Structure 1
Amino acid sequence: MGIFTKDLSELVAKVKDRETKINSRINEIKEAIAKHKIVIDTKRTQLVEAEINNDSRAIQSTKDAINKLKEKVAELHESLESYKANKFSLLENELQKVKEAGLKERQARHNKLRNLRQEQEQIEKHIEDLQKRSKELSTEMDLVSTDKYEISQIEQVLAYIEPRATKLSNTFFKPDKEMFISAWLEDGDTEQYLAQLEPQATKGLTVTYGEGHNRELTDEELKMIGVQQTQA
């Protein structure tokens, strides 16, 4: 429980206790006034009887009694008004105590809010930095995720490694040159790519016509379909 809450709780308890006592006292005064008025009415009846009987002594004593009762009722009324007027009043020092505690509570709350905002800003800045670094890492990974860099560099001296390899295809669908360089770097089988450069044998190429008739293609026919001939 904070100081402000504690002070306020104590004050509320004190106010309730004070209000209960004041209400009790107000009720007591009202009852006293009512009783005194009954006595006054009775005395006035007695005064009438004394005056009828010309009892001067009784008249005087009754009047004196009535006056005293009126004075008492007047005092009770003054007291009643005082209690009513002060029913919701508080001592100044009690209110000042609550005011000071309330100001401290507000200042503490403002300080906490400021600290929370600063912490939030630091976290958001840290998240922003992490996101920026994550993008940088993604870019760097894209650069180093393929073999194209070292392959492009080695390709410059490919003619010195294997002149025949410079004739290999290097398309998206048939990247033989890149695969040759990768195999060379890792001491793999490079001959499988070079073998593709060997001329195709033409002996034994035949054409079928009619029913069950075969013959070999002539040199002129082979040239027409673009097949390189082998030397005999």
Structure 2
Amino acid sequence: MKTLLPCLLAALLASGARAQPGATPATLIPQLEALPLLQIDRAEAMASPGHPNEMWRYRALRALKLHQAEAARRYFRFASRYGDKFSQHALSLMMWNGVGGPVDRAQAYAWSDLAAERGYRDLLLVREKMWMQLDAAQKARAMLAGQALYAEYADAVARPRQAWAMRRAFAAATGSRVGATSDRLRFEQGDVSAEYFFVDKRWNDEYWREQDRQWKARVIVAPPQPLRDAEPDRP
């Protein structure tokens, strides 16, 4: 979806590394409270073909909205295996504040460091704030935890997983295994606009450059707008 992620991204970044006793899912992303479930479901449907990072991210956001924080942690972890920096950052904040599980500041920092590996300024700032609040023992644990996380979730191993998923979905869409009607492609998850599916920024190296643009752009948090049933959102 074109407008959903920037709004949620800005809200998540605003949570920063503040210690929030008794934090809830709504504390991390307040905008989720007013966001219609239908809009999240549509975003998932649009993302699903070939983009498991986005699919699991939106499932995690849906779980957060429904206050199923433990499930949200699992789904964010699944998305993280495909290089999803939003999900890695979200996991970090959930562990930092004990949302969906116990507080674990060392693991939270390790996830924050992983989320910041591409050098996005906002994530680097959060990571450094976390580091300053750790004691010596937590810092030592964080360094060990980080080695294990990088082995499974860093871009060097996560991007190839995502690239394989994109290649597989794109090949299926251009072959004979996908039914098509008018301008829509039909997948198990539902119908997806062909115009949206084949746009360059959804595939290959251009996909990662688009991720960079989203993170580096200046985002402004605005109240969610009511979703009109008559016409689905188009990018």
Give the shorter-chain TM-score range: under 0.3
Larger-Rg structure: 1
- Larger RCO (alpha carbons 8 Å, 6+ apart): 2
User: What TM-score does the superposition give when structure 2 sets the normalisation length?
Assistant: 0.19
